[in-house]
């Protein structure tokens, strides 16, 4: 097993954990390395569930901060091992989100932080929501995640991103009547009828509501369309898959009601959905942290695991090094100064004055 040196430089540590490949489903080697590095620190109690590793201080501080990051990456695209190119670290996982994980591991060295800390390293973030390691911890051991404020170390360009938008996918089924295309008037073309669904989407004006002081931006988009069986058959079925991204002033039920209203008269089936999370920046621990970072907080538009903490009643924000737009790209990279700055901000906050 590769052993990780937590006492060295944070950039070397980032490289070391990127260079242990951990595509979703294959996190064991990295989880083992993280677990053994943490078990060597006597001030932490270390727990494990599958390939998720949780480490906690118990100093009896009045507040507990939960700091979470995923260990997995999307598939490697000929972009490992990492390459250090001046001030830019390139390679799979650098920005999403092993630089953030390296920062977490460095903070785990703090023996007497001013808040009690719970570090959560988890598996299966980049795949179907039902496999998500943080979701599994919520189901199996919610007490491991107890806390007053949570930070998710996903890349946020060094600013605090509050809350996140929810997401819902629906399947809209448009029926027709099959016929030979030589006698098309005997049937009814489902693909043509689906044009009415596309008209709704093209005319749709998404909301941009302000929630707890942050502006969100919704979206409603077709993401897949299926129909037709042969070159001489009038199709009797066309299916349009639509993805709705909704601001956190609406819950899943409200988002579904909205879609049923928008697509009234069509057969609408919800495929999957995940709620958003309000930013919660009015909570004292969140306020203290935002002031310390010193940059204007932004609304998080993509869905993140922040909403799993919101579901536990724990206000949560995203804060991590690097540009989220780099995530999942073949040229994925993170600026080295941002890794160092994130670590300095968090060390400054958590170190005892």
Which are the contacts of 315, defined by CB distance < 8 A and separation ≥ 6?
A: 149, 150, 280, 281, 283, 285, 286, 309
Determine, following the binding rule CB under 5 A, whether residue 334 of this chain makes contact with Zn ion.
no
Which CB atom, from 154 or from 256, has the smaller least distance to Zn ion?
Answer: 154
Count of residues interacting with Zn ion (CB under 5 A): 3
- Tell me if residue 148 is catalytic: no
- Interacting positions 75-104 with Zn ion (CB under 5 A): 96-97
- CA-CA distance, 172 to 164, in Å (whole number)? 26
Residue with smaller CB distance to Zn ion, 57 or 156: 156
Helix (H, G, I), strand (E, B) or coil at 16: helix
> Of 35, 72, 96, 116, which is the active-site residue?
72
The distance of closest approach from Cβ of residue 249 to Zn ion in the complex, given in angstroms and rounded to an integer, is: 25
Tell the smallest beta-carbon distance from residue 332 to Zn ion (Å).
Answer: 11
125, 157, 161, 256: the active-site residue: 125
Q: Which burial class, exposed, middle or buried, applies to 248 when counting CB atoms under 10 A from its CB (0-12, 13-18, 19+)?
A: buried
- Regarding 27 and contact with Zn ion (CB under 5 A), the answer is no
Asked whether position 157 contacts Zn ion by CB under 5 A, the answer is no
111 is catalytic: no
Nearer to Zn ion, 93 or 235 (CB): 93
CB contact at 8 A, 13 and 105: yes
Q: Which stretch binds Zn ion (CB under 5 A): 150-158, 176-184, 190-198, 289-297?
A: 150-158
Q: Rule CB under 5 A: say whether 123 interacts with Zn ion.
A: no
Using left for φ > 0, alpha for ψ between -120 and 50, and beta otherwise, residue 72 falls in beta
Q: Where are the alpha helices (DSSP H) in the chain?
A: 10-18, 28-39, 99-107, 133-140, 190-193, 195-203, 252-262, 284-293, 306-311, 336-350
Q: Which amino acids are annotated catalytic?
A: 72, 125
User: Which spans of this chain sit near Zn ion (rule: CB under 5 A)?
Assistant: 96-97, 154
């Amino acid at each position: 097993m590769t052993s990780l040196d937590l006492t060295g430089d944070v950039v070397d540590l980032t490289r070391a954990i990127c260079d242990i490949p951990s595509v979703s489903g294959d996190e064991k080697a990295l989880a083992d390395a993280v677990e053994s590095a943490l078990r060597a620190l006597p001030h932490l109690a270390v727990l494990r569930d599958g390939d998720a590793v949780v480490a906690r201080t118990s100093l009896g501080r009045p507040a507990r901060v939960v700091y979470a990051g995923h260990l997995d990456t999307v598939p490697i695209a000929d972009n490992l091992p990492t390459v250090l190119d001046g001030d830019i670290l390139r390679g799979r996982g650098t920005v999403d989100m092993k630089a953030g994980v390296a920062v977490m591991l460095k903070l785990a060295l703090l023996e007497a932080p001013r808040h009690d800390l719970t570090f959560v390293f988890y598996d299966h973030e980049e795949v179907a929501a039902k496999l998500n390691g943080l979701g599994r911890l919520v189901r199996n051991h919610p007490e491991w995640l107890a806390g007053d404020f949570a930070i998710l170390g996903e890349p946020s360009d060094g600013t605090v991103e509050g809350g996140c938008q929810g997401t819902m996918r629906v399947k809209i089924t448009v029926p027709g009547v099959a016929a030979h295309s030589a006698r098309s008037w005997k049937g009814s073309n489902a693909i043509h009828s689906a044009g009415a669904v596309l008209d709704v989407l093209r005319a749709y004006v998404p909301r941009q509501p302000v929630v707890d002081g942050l502006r969100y931006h919704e979206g409603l988009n077709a993401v897949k369309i299926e129909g037709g069986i042969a070159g001489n058959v009038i199709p009797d079925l066309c299916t349009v898959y639509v993805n709705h991204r909704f601001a956190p002033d609406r819950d899943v039920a409200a988002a579904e009601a909205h879609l049923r209203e928008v697509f009234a008269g069509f057969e609408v089936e919800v495929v999957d959905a995940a709620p958003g999370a309000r930013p919660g920046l009015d909570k004292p621990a969140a306020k203290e942290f935002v002031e310390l970072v010193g940059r204007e907080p932004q609304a998080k538009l993509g869905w993140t695991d922040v909403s799993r903490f919101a579901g536990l009643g724990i206000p949560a924000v995203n804060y991590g090094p690097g540009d989220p737009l780099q995530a999942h790209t073949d040229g994925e990279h993170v600026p080295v100064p941002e890794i160092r700055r994130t670590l300095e901000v968090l060390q400054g906050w958590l170190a005892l004055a």
